[in-house]
Amino acid sequence: MNIVKALFKSQGGIHPKYNKELSRDKKIETMPIAPLLKVSMSQHLGAPAKPLVKKGDLVLRGQQIGEAAGFISANVHAPTSGTVKAVAEAPTAIGAKIPAIEIEPDGEDKWIDGISGIQDWKNADNKELIAKIAEAGISGMGGAGFPTHVKLSPPPNKPIDTLIINGAECEPYLTADHRLMVEHAAEIRTGIEIIRKILSVKTVRIAIESNKPESIEAMNKALADIDGDVEIAVLKTEYPQGAEKQQIFAITGKEVPSAGLPMDVGCVVENVGTTLAIQDAIINGKPVTERVTTVTGNPVTSPKNVLVRLGTSYTDLLEFCGSTKNDVAKIISGGPMMGFAQPNLDVCTTKTTSGLLFLAPKEVYNYESMPCISCGRCVEACPMNLMPSELSFMLEAEEFAEAQELNVMDCIECGCCSFSCPAHRPLVQHMKQGKAWVMLQRRKKQ
């Protein structure tokens, strides 16, 4: 097994302070089940799942309680056994209100009967493997939440030649993927072999940033005797190396076209947490009922990487990490670059909760936005070759159609432009508004 440096340098990028030392060396701890779990029907990209249970129902761990409602959607399962107390709207990390199933655990944590994997997966039909992944409700656990069974079913006219396993975890502070690679490398290897079989690909690259030598070592050991063209590609430590398009370019030199997908250049990218969930579904037959997330930040008494049941409130999650030792100025669901600011801790953990970050007052600055000084730093930092300053002017003037012409939809909302701007222009916010407008027009047309 080779360990190689990624061959290409993708455009743009920034070097924020990573602050991973707060939780990097903390082993994954299993959190006890909270007294109430609120399981959202929207834990993935696409249509929210349709609730399958009602108030008063008894449920078992792994029982399907939400049914995928469309092609881009995912099933949802009970994270433990207990009683359904309500099916009611609950806030999500992005500020929406979505139906959630409230479960009062019975303390037995009893799995539903019939949980079993596909033992002879190496000889199984790929359709059977994909159906098992769909049944298990797996969606991208790096944060994007794209339903995995859809990603693993590219159309026949999009042949895949390269599988990239994304262990970059380029967001500052977050260390959950790093701990998964250190502690579960062997299971991730099995997940890689399963995906490789499903996609019939020969080339596999495990992408890890150079600031994670322990992850590189653990994966190298676990993959030592794997057959075929499998390599660890060490990426330069630079944000956003974890973004799919940047990673594909850094490793293969191929550029995903504007408005295109990785499959357009023969690639599929799967996060290490997703790969582990695939292994758990195929080998053990288990649907997604928990995930590892990083609870961190200077105010947190005891930052941790936590194995937590889905539906656990952020309040309970923080309590498991000993609360906060000083004032908190900002709470972010996810990482500081692409995460979502939270007004309180009411939101509950989902399959996409990669982290929960608390920032102290001295780490948060309130800037007044000033006029653009045309310094070009945002253009230099943009990994998507966009012109954030130009787009921002257009979007401020509500020239949405013009912004669409300038490819605002290619923006990956990484925040590199805002981070670099000396005038503190709300660039990424403008991009989000522009993209929302385009999406609305598309929906209207449909």
- Name the residue nearer to ligand SF4 (CB basis): 256 or 382: 382
Binder to ligand SF4 among 36, 329, 372, 406 (CB under 6 A)?
372
Dihedral angle computed from the Cα positions of residues 248, 251, 253 and 258, in that order, rounded to the nearest 10 degrees: 10
Cα gap 24→305, rounded to integer Å: 8
Beta-sheet pairing, 82-91 with 97-105 = antiparallel
**Do 213 and 301 meet the contact criterion of CB atoms below 8 Å apart?**
no
- Name the residue nearer to ligand SF4 (CB basis): 126 or 429: 429
Q: Is 377 in the site for ligand SF4 (CB under 6 A)?
A: yes
**Do 127 and 232 meet the contact criterion of CB atoms below 8 Å apart?**
no
Binder to ligand SF4 among 273, 389, 434, 435 (CB under 6 A)?
389
Q: Is 421 in the site for ligand SF4 (CB under 6 A)?
A: yes
Binder to ligand SF4 among 350, 420, 434, 435 (CB under 6 A)?
420
What single-letter amino acid sits at 133?
A: I
Binder to ligand SF4 among 331, 378, 394, 403 (CB under 6 A)?
378
3-state secondary structure of 422: coil
Q: Is 318 in the site for ligand SF4 (CB under 6 A)?
A: no
User: What's the half-sphere exposure (Cβ side, CA atoms, 13 Å) at 144?
Assistant: 18
Minimal distance, residue 51 CB to ligand SF4, in Å: 35
- Name the residue nearer to ligand SF4 (CB basis): 91 or 383: 383
Binder to ligand SF4 among 199, 206, 382, 395 (CB under 6 A)?
382
Q: Is 415 in the site for ligand SF4 (CB under 6 A)?
A: yes
Residues counted in the chain: 446
Binder to ligand SF4 among 351, 431, 434, 435 (CB under 6 A)?
431
Cα gap 255→403, rounded to integer Å: 22
Count other Cβ atoms within 10 Å, centred on residue 4. Answer: 11
Q: Is 394 in the site for ligand SF4 (CB under 6 A)?
A: no
Q: Is 416 in the site for ligand SF4 (CB under 6 A)?
A: yes
Minimal distance, residue 348 CB to ligand SF4, in Å: 28
Count other Cβ atoms within 10 Å, centred on residue 208. Answer: 30
**Strand boundaries in 183-342, DSSP class E:** 203-209, 229-235, 267-271, 290-296, 304-309, 330-333, 340-342
Q: Is 78 in the site for ligand SF4 (CB under 6 A)?
A: no
3-state secondary structure of 232: strand
Residue at token pair 């502690």: 183
**Do 379 and 421 meet the contact criterion of CB atoms below 8 Å apart?**
no
Minimal distance, residue 253 CB to ligand SF4, in Å: 20
Q: Is 144 in the site for ligand SF4 (CB under 6 A)?
A: no
Count other Cβ atoms within 10 Å, centred on residue 159. Answer: 12
The alpha carbon of residue 130 and the mean position of all alpha carbons in its chain are separated, in whole angstroms, by: 20
Minimal distance, residue 407 CB to ligand SF4, in Å: 10
Q: Is 339 in the site for ligand SF4 (CB under 6 A)?
A: no
Minimal distance, residue 60 CB to ligand SF4, in Å: 43
Q: Is 425 in the site for ligand SF4 (CB under 6 A)?
A: yes
- Name the residue nearer to ligand SF4 (CB basis): 253 or 376: 376
- Name the residue nearer to ligand SF4 (CB basis): 113 or 368: 368
Q: Is 375 in the site for ligand SF4 (CB under 6 A)?
A: yes
| 241, burial (CB in 10 Å: exposed 0-12, middle 13-18, buried 19+) | buried
Site string (395-414) toward ligand SF4, x via CB under 6 A: ----------------xxxx
Residue at token pair 């399962």: 77
Q: Which residues bind ligand SF4 (CB under 6 A)?
A: 372-378, 381-384, 386, 388-389, 411-417, 420-423, 425, 427-428, 431
